[in-house]
Structure 1
């Protein structure tokens, strides 16, 4: 995948004029690489980002020079959700790097389907180490193996087929099934026969007093 970018001179609040032209402000940096201020076509970047995500190496062309990069960070507008800026990290294809790879949960837990438990997602991404070209786009986690309340999937349970190393403790929980919280039942107050008699006598006394007061008023 390739993306053409251009160097820019506009900085700070002035980059807003770029967005009005359908361009995004971007930064390029890396280990031992001087920082570069860039601009890219918004639509072209959106297409690349949708396909590559943040774990696939893409080639950016700057003044005829091709550089392998990862999409390091994407900033979104808090209201519209539009992309506002992008960071690229230049990599060396012969050096291993660490990257966060998203976890994709597939399948269905029968205990959750039966309404006996709730699925808890403890992690949504995991750190790996690999050469840039070997970084997986995602790691699939099958949750159908969670068959009872208390069952868990650990990092050590992941099915790894690529050329990368997971940099997380194997005993770390990725997902689990927890017990559904039960609604507390409020017990009705107990009333003894003695209480019923007392309440009845009290009500009778109130009625008698009311009658007496009414008789005095009429006289």
Structure 2
């Protein structure tokens, strides 16, 4: 948790002030979970993007003014559908002494044997939900798929996390599978309305 993010308090809530702040690279944000008070803040978009590129689930040390430092995590980012620019960010205070629920991104590494044999790769999910202590939360998990052949699949239950991490996603959920082109054509036919 070495990454610091500076929050600035928002004082004026008019739409024109918020739009002016966005043009200057400051994104409106809220911080939940510190006592009962929700703080209305703003954060430097460029600074946050640099941190989230490396780890979108990072636990950050949020500085609110000069007197308050708290561990936070990004809960939700609202983006403009056309431009992709950040419109609003929800941060959640993290209690470092209690377990938390979060998601871990799965990276699939290697080239499956089944692809070389003419199969196609079908990824069903890219992340799983876990529960663990904040300091145990992995940034991501790499899974080697080079041994998968046509007809093979990886389930959530095939993931091996370090001790202390409980996987909340259904263990029977298929993460990735290698299919033949024939299987995909049949699935497409099943979906096509009669």
Q: Does TM-score exceed 0.5, indicating one fold?
A: yes
SS of the aligned residue for 1:66 comes to: strand
Q: Which residue of 2 aligns with 1:56?
A: 58
Larger C-alpha radius of gyration, 1 or 2?
1
* Correspondences of 1:162-201 after superposition (within 5 Å): 163-181=164-182
Report whether the alignment pairs 1:153 with 2:164.
Answer: no
CA distance in 2, matches of 1:26, 1:138: 25
Q: Which residue of 1 aligns with 2:189?
A: none
SS of the aligned residue for 1:145 comes to: coil
Q: 1:141 aligns with which of 124, 140, 143?
A: 143
Cα 1:111–1:50 shift into 2, 3 Å: same
Question: Size of the alignment, in residue pairs?
Answer: 181
Report whether the alignment pairs 1:90 with 2:93.
Answer: yes
Q: Which residue of 1 aligns with 2:122?
A: 120
CA distance in 2, matches of 1:176, 1:12: 50
* Correspondences of 1:3-152 after superposition (within 5 Å): 3-11=5-13, 13-14=15-16, 15-30=18-33, 32-53=35-56, 55-63=57-65, 64-115=67-118, 117-147=119-149, 149-152=150-153
- Structure number with the higher strand fraction is 2
CA distance in 1, matches of 2:31, 2:115: 45
1:33 Cα deviation after fit: 3.9
1:171 Cα deviation after fit: 2.3
- Give yes or no for contact 2:34–2:93 (8 Å, CA) kept in 1: yes
Q: Which runs of 5 or more structure 1 residues have no equivalent in the other structure?
A: 185-219
Q: Which residue of 2 aligns with 1:205?
A: none
Q: Which residue of 1 aligns with 2:192?
A: none
1:5 Cα deviation after fit: 0.8
- Structure number with the higher helix fraction is 1
Give RMSD over aligned pairs: 2.0
CA distance in 1, matches of 2:117, 2:108: 19
SS of the aligned residue for 1:26 comes to: strand
CA distance in 2, matches of 1:62, 1:173: 42
Instruction: Summarize deviations over 1:21-51 as a string: whole Å, max 9, x none.
Output: 2211111112754211101122222222222
1:52 Cα deviation after fit: 3.0
TM-score scaled to structure 1, two decimals? 0.75
